[in-house]
Structure 1
């Protein structure tokens, strides 16, 4: 049992979800099917009665312990759980109730949006690199006919001409009874977006934390990606589905876990074929309530699509419900088959599961926007959005096409078909936790020749009861190497088209580990209906494993003609739970005195950054060393994985603040790096860095045996400025002065001499006629002057 609330104040009320020990109906039905045991309606009624009795026992126990509770809601189909509000001081008492398995917070949840762009309406087709595949399916009459899809989101503008053809109904799960939060109440059958005029007096236009506006639009945008169809060329992936909208997010596009759980249960009860969850919590755990509900919905026969999250390219940043082991978590790809920097990465915890499961277009996606019934003109009611929120409905649309084409396929079949046929992106850039199976290929997913199912039994609820999982990835999880090991996972290959054929199996290791191998037996086979393969991991004993010791890659099954290629990612973790204290191991620069002049330096100056763990929101800023004010940014991203990277420091560079070309002016700077590790900042700085592109200027004269003069140079000015910080330097460290006696017009051997701190100099010589004085600064700029006897130069 986990208690998350020990730090809460005694006088606070907290919203919690209590998970109870009895398994709900869906899980027990699935376990019966696995064991070959009949499961009747009477069995279901008996289980529901048992769950109800247990929940009542918990209520009675809370009353006997004088624990006041209110606003409770019971779950008994997908979960055996109670959502309620109690005083924080009473949470510890709940640990004494044996029927309670787990206590977790009823967290606030947000839609998974990243960025948005206002645009004029234009064709979405040009933005979709794989539109031609979807169009080919439409030409075959596969447009999602008869498939029921529930979008659990902020609601819908059901009057929008691009989506009204598909809308079949919906429900509102948001409570608007509080007049301080909403200006009016809302009927439970009204899933419209939150209207601007529902904002009560005194409520802010935007949320202080997320920046989201009071009125909402997210659900309408998602609906358009799935089912949109209008004269502007904005056509969803599956325009002929039966679309249902379940409003779970209210004002500021926020909701809570228990509301989402209620909607998921309702969607299952209403026999939806597919659920779209473009939302994310702040947990990377597989046993989060949302993830458990997704697992159980899948066991009930519903395909559940969710986002991986938009917390950036940091390892382990995937968020619930994208962590659900039976659901389909979607990452965000671009039209150039790259992964958007905002798209979250796996693995999920604690089973080292490969997430996201698949990628889909989610960058700059044009879709529908609501009008809030303020006007009937929807000409410009469209907008481009970026995020896994936009990638997930793309996969939802493809799932609808699959379901129409193969009505008897289970959620497992649909998930495996998508994964097996996906395009694996560049493995030198993206590993299995970046891309999962790869980028969706809709036509190939609908028309597979064979499918390869990785088989395993998992604890889908966190309560120890195992259910079968058929998926398109091979997960060995955490493997301890205190002894040499051999682990084998079964894989079942099915002949979908019935054409048979000869097939070969190859293993592509993208990240090796010394002493570990992946093999598949048999490596070749003739397919006759079905073929069972065995994927074996062998690894030598190694008691010195460390963080990120793992083996990653892809298994490929191809026919002899190379016309069929299905793939499955695999992963095993050998770190034995090893972790590291996040640190910046190196932040250095090849030189701290720079001169650009008219051309860039060759070779260019490079900044080296080495980090030992993944960091969120990394930034590399140019800062004024004297005032400490930021000047510009060389680099910014949502996340950065561990390793070493190099960044050029150029005279002309692209600002990550403005995305425009900028010029690095002469001055004194520092290069500052900041990143977040476990919500704590890590920082490092290089400086001072002197940028100086002017040459030293030399004036002087020869009077008798004395050569006197003045060097004018920025380094002299820099030294005075650094003195004010008590970091001054001797100008001779930056200015290398020398003279050469001239004889018959030819210079002699250079002789170094020292400058005074103000740049003046005086050198005694043996009655020279003429002297060449040269000054080379630390940045490589050179100035020289020929001084003649009796002349001021």
Structure 2
């Protein structure tokens, strides 16, 4: 049975209105050919133009009067300059009436610029450049939010859109990345009423399944469960997971986000905002388990409905080489559909990858951090920390009390926690009137907070045990609590421990925190390879999966205009980043087969792009934790070669055997030019040895060459010792290699 792996990390944000505008460049008139018009570029409106006149505006005129260095607009000399500029603009308007009658003046300016703006109505800007006294004519710039969506920045989403001339603003979906591509989401359903999935501007499309839950953005809504009639379930999105996943894939461009009055300075977008979505609900109502049969039916329906990409942010126990769920994924890839799958949330630890992420042809995601969240500030003398809340609620007023660190405790796992982990009952009254300081680990958050409250604590602070931002804590009804509880980051431990006995305050006003220094840290929960039985490298690649902001169903909040939003964490949140990337790659390269799309994403990833979980400061190079690295959409779109196998595992080789084992990889030229690439093997770790049979390959346009990769155990190697290396094809691609003595 496949079960949904869902780690809820609820918090909320709102978009601010900060804007950035592209400035005009005053180019000399002779630089233009008045008989031709260049098309509008990214960030420009081809229906409107600004005409810059040659004379200086008031701001730079030598004839104006200034007072204390500032232009005096009321001075006679300044008014005379403005009158002269007005005459020039009147002359231009008269010229337009005779020579470009369709162009209509919409604005006049003389302080910062000596210019007029016009609606072109079909008039070429080359015509306007011939007007007397004109210095330059440019299409009008388009305002875009100043802040960058951090999720998209980490996968270079906006940069990739710009490179491919997709719109980075505006309301016309036909210009957005992914337009024309269909992505199926096998999950808990998609709430089509969310502003993320407004279908304005999308083409009228035949809607499939239960059309009560579809529009021209979410074009299919189907439900799969063996007790549909008995349970009276529908395709409606009740749980939040699927709507969140869908938002990461294809939320409409720059959709404002707001919850509880907390603002962030950007409006979220999906990685592929132009896609249409299919909602295949295998976890209807509040059902959290799905049978393989339900999954199979959903996959078949998605294929029959014409989906180009499928997202499966779900997982279950791997079943080796006879895993039919994995076989289904492999076969869909062969049928022309890219399938992105979560690697699982069972980390840390080897052999924790889940099915169907274990499928050889799945595009399997590991999770890394996004350094932002919504939470509270903790303050005091020499104390200033940011804290995540989660399901323990927000205090209605600031809580001030002495902080008390729990005594160090040695837990059943043999580790000593300092402060203590708080998993056992505490002496009665030992924390009366105090804020308890507790280490994360061993037991549930609710267990810790419950024990602290029973000992008299008025609040609790849990210290994270991994690097990066704190995460929103989930509660457990088995341990009912009433006191406020928050989590702080590992880096804030020292200041809080040093404050023991002093009063600190947990503030009650939510704030948005952005900590870019905590980006790209490997999630502690992210599952590691190798896969069971066949010992393949998984995940394939890592994407943002900690504190990911996206849409949740409209019934989960009261804001029916802006909609409902939340931060979630899990490889479930990393997977839709890869699905969205696959959609954009398929949009730009419609002739690429799924294996080429997967290779483009995996083999061009940022090899040293993920940091270790423990310290958050050391590059994580273990391929069983990070695959080939961190996903990079710009590099994926620019891929020049594709590998028939994006990674090569030699599995387990008997420890007494030192004879080389070989496997082959075919490299295909994706370009229309002949290329010669050097071939090397480097970054070796472990005692085993890797090699390749060629030092270079020459590929004709569209041509291929085969490489033979070798691996051998070292003499005297120990059982279960792992070795890895990287195959490099110049700067064009790299692939992870792995072997193990058994």
Give the TM interval when normalised to the shorter protein: 0.5 to 0.7
Q: How does 1:362-761 map to 2 (within 5 A)?
A: 362-372=545-555, 377-425=560-608, 429-451=620-642, 453=643, 470-480=644-654, 482-513=656-687, 516-529=688-701, 530-539=703-712, 542=715, 545-558=717-730, 564-575=731-742
Q: Structure 1 residues 252 and 272 mapped into 2: Cα distance closer, same or farther (>3 Å)? A: same
Preserved CA contact (<8 Å) 2:665 2:707: yes
Match of 1:245 among 279, 291, 302: 279
Q: Structure 1 residues 376 and 385 mapped into 2: Cα distance closer, same or farther (>3 Å)? A: closer
Task: Give CA-to-partner distance per residue, 1:86-126, whole Å, 9 cap, x none.
Answer: xxxxxxxxxxxxxxxxxxxxx2x332322413122247703
Q: Structure 1 residues 282 and 481 mapped into 2: Cα distance closer, same or farther (>3 Å)? A: closer
Listed as ranges, the gaps of 5+ residues in structure 2 are 16-146, 167-174, 200-216, 258-266, 371-518, 611-617
TM-score by length of 2: 0.53
Preserved CA contact (<8 Å) 1:276 1:392: yes
Answering whether residue 322 of structure 2 is matched by residue 287 of structure 1, we say: yes
Q: Aligned residue for 1:231? A: 256
Q: Aligned residue for 1:96? A: none
Flag the structure with more relative contact order, 1 or 2, with Cα contacts below 8 A and sequence separation at least 6. 2
C-alpha distance in structure 2 between counterparts of 1:570 and 1:142, whole Å: 37
Preserved CA contact (<8 Å) 1:554 1:569: yes
Question: What's the CA shift for 1:538?
Answer: 4.8
Match of 2:3 among 106, 110, 120: 110
Match of 1:191 among 235, 242, 256: 235
Q: Structure 1 residues 152 and 519 mapped into 2: Cα distance closer, same or farther (>3 Å)? A: same
C-alpha distance in structure 2 between counterparts of 1:526 and 1:375, whole Å: 61
Listed as ranges, the gaps of 5+ residues in structure 1 are 1-106, 195-215, 454-469, 559-563, 576-793
Q: Structure 1 residues 394 and 507 mapped into 2: Cα distance closer, same or farther (>3 Å)? A: same
Preserved CA contact (<8 Å) 1:419 1:472: yes
C-alpha distance in structure 1 between counterparts of 2:190 and 2:540, whole Å: 27
Question: What's the CA shift for 1:241?
Answer: 1.1
C-alpha distance in structure 2 between counterparts of 1:252 and 1:386, whole Å: 20
Q: Structure 1 residues 394 and 536 mapped into 2: Cα distance closer, same or farther (>3 Å)? A: closer
Question: What's the CA shift for 1:143?
Answer: 0.9
Preserved CA contact (<8 Å) 1:116 1:384: yes
C-alpha distance in structure 2 between counterparts of 1:310 and 1:374, whole Å: 27
Q: Provide the secondary structure at the position in 1 that maps to 2:667.
A: strand
Q: Structure 1 residues 161 and 571 mapped into 2: Cα distance closer, same or farther (>3 Å)? A: same
Preserved CA contact (<8 Å) 1:502 1:525: yes
Q: Aligned residue for 1:150? A: 184
Question: What's the CA shift for 1:266?
Answer: 1.8
Q: Structure 1 residues 138 and 235 mapped into 2: Cα distance closer, same or farther (>3 Å)? A: farther
TM-score by length of 1: 0.50
C-alpha distance in structure 1 between counterparts of 2:658 and 2:296, whole Å: 44
C-alpha distance in structure 2 between counterparts of 1:271 and 1:309, whole Å: 27
**Alignment length, in residue pairs?**
415
Question: What's the CA shift for 1:376?
Answer: 7.0
Task: Give CA-to-partner distance per residue, 1:548-607, whole Å, 9 cap, x none.
Answer: 22320111111xxxxx341000111221xxxxxxxxxxxxxxxxxxxxxxxxxxxxxxxx
Q: Aligned residue for 1:332? A: 367
Preserved CA contact (<8 Å) 1:173 1:263: yes
C-alpha distance in structure 2 between counterparts of 1:177 and 1:192, whole Å: 12
Q: Aligned residue for 1:267? A: 302
C-alpha distance in structure 1 between counterparts of 2:598 and 2:714, whole Å: 35
C-alpha distance in structure 2 between counterparts of 1:382 and 1:373, whole Å: 9
Question: What's the CA shift for 1:377?
Answer: 1.2
Q: Structure 1 residues 286 and 338 mapped into 2: Cα distance closer, same or farther (>3 Å)? A: farther
Preserved CA contact (<8 Å) 1:488 1:537: yes
Q: Provide the secondary structure at the position in 1 that maps to 2:585.
A: helix
Answering whether residue 311 of structure 2 is matched by residue 139 of structure 1, we say: no
Preserved CA contact (<8 Å) 2:661 2:712: no
Match of 1:256 among 279, 291, 302: 291
Task: Give CA-to-partner distance per residue, 1:673-713, whole Å, 9 cap, x none.
Answer: xxxxxxxxxxxxxxxxxxxxxxxxxxxxxxxxxxxxxxxxx
Preserved CA contact (<8 Å) 2:645 2:665: no
C-alpha distance in structure 2 between counterparts of 1:274 and 1:444, whole Å: 19
Preserved CA contact (<8 Å) 1:521 1:533: no
C-alpha distance in structure 1 between counterparts of 2:523 and 2:330, whole Å: 27
Q: Structure 1 residues 354 and 177 mapped into 2: Cα distance closer, same or farther (>3 Å)? A: closer
Q: Structure 1 residues 118 and 484 mapped into 2: Cα distance closer, same or farther (>3 Å)? A: closer
Q: Structure 1 residues 133 and 571 mapped into 2: Cα distance closer, same or farther (>3 Å)? A: same
Question: What's the CA shift for 1:152?
Answer: 0.6
Question: What's the CA shift for 1:136?
Answer: 2.4
Q: Provide the secondary structure at the position in 2 that maps to 1:437.
A: coil
Q: Structure 1 residues 369 and 483 mapped into 2: Cα distance closer, same or farther (>3 Å)? A: closer
Question: What's the CA shift for 1:545?
Answer: 4.2
C-alpha distance in structure 1 between counterparts of 2:628 and 2:250, whole Å: 25
Q: Structure 1 residues 553 and 168 mapped into 2: Cα distance closer, same or farther (>3 Å)? A: same
Larger Rg: 1 or 2?
Answer: 1
C-alpha distance in structure 2 between counterparts of 1:286 and 1:234, whole Å: 40
Coordinate RMSD, CA, aligned? 2.4
C-alpha distance in structure 1 between counterparts of 2:672 and 2:551, whole Å: 41
Preserved CA contact (<8 Å) 2:556 2:564: no
C-alpha distance in structure 2 between counterparts of 1:110 and 1:117, whole Å: 21
**Higher deviation after alignment, 128-137 or 330-339:** 128-137
Task: Give CA-to-partner distance per residue, 1:108-161, whole Å, 9 cap, x none.
Answer: x33232241312224770344234434425634561121121101111111111
**Higher deviation after alignment, 414-423 or 111-120:** 111-120
C-alpha distance in structure 1 between counterparts of 2:714 and 2:341, whole Å: 39
